[in-house]
Amino acid sequence: MKFLANENFPLLAVTALRDAGHDVLWARTDMAGDADELILQRAQDDERIVVTFDKDFGELAFGWGLPSNCGVILFRLRSQSPQHLRDRVVEILGDRTDWTGQFFVVEEHRIRIRALP
């Protein structure tokens, strides 16, 4: 899958996703300092799924009318240890293939889904 990891996404998780065969751009290195709107635009242009810990992406995705060839996965995990985040991200993203066209909120013990407009 093609992901665009927001700047706040941990390097260990980005590396693990790449090692699992995913195509991952990381905003921290590929789009350093770019506004959230530019990150969403790049996701739309490249047909990528945004992975983030930033709650603003939900509001932006719906307000902007992010198209169905994209998606947003908002992680709301309690533990902030880089190793735990890496393991959970790889586990969760490996369990599904229906990320496109959806807004997901991933919590420790549940995943909420809402279709993008």
What ranges in 6-81 are assigned the alpha helix state H? 11-19, 27-30, 36-46, 56-64
CB 88: neighbour CB atoms within 10 A? 16
pLDDT value at position 63? 80
Q: How many domains does the chain have?
A: 1
pLDDT value at position 69? 77
Confidence of residue 76 (pLDDT cuts 50, 70, 90): very high
Confidence of residue 16 (pLDDT cuts 50, 70, 90): very high
| Of 4, 42, 20, residue with least CA distance to 86 | 20
The pTM score is 0.91
pLDDT value at position 47? 92
Structural domain that includes position 31 = 2-115
Write the CATH number for 99. Answer: 3.40.50
pLDDT value at position 96? 84
**Greater confidence, 95 or 92?**
92
CA distance 84 to 40: 26
| Of 39, 69, 49, 34, residue with least CA distance to 2 | 49
Pick the range with the lowest mean pLDDT from 3-7, 14-18, 32-36: 32-36
Query: Tens of pLDDT along 45-71?
Result: 999 999 999 988 888 888 867 666 789
- Across the chain, how many H-helices and E-strands are there? 5, 6
Sign (positive or negative) of CA dihedral 82, 87, 92, 96: positive
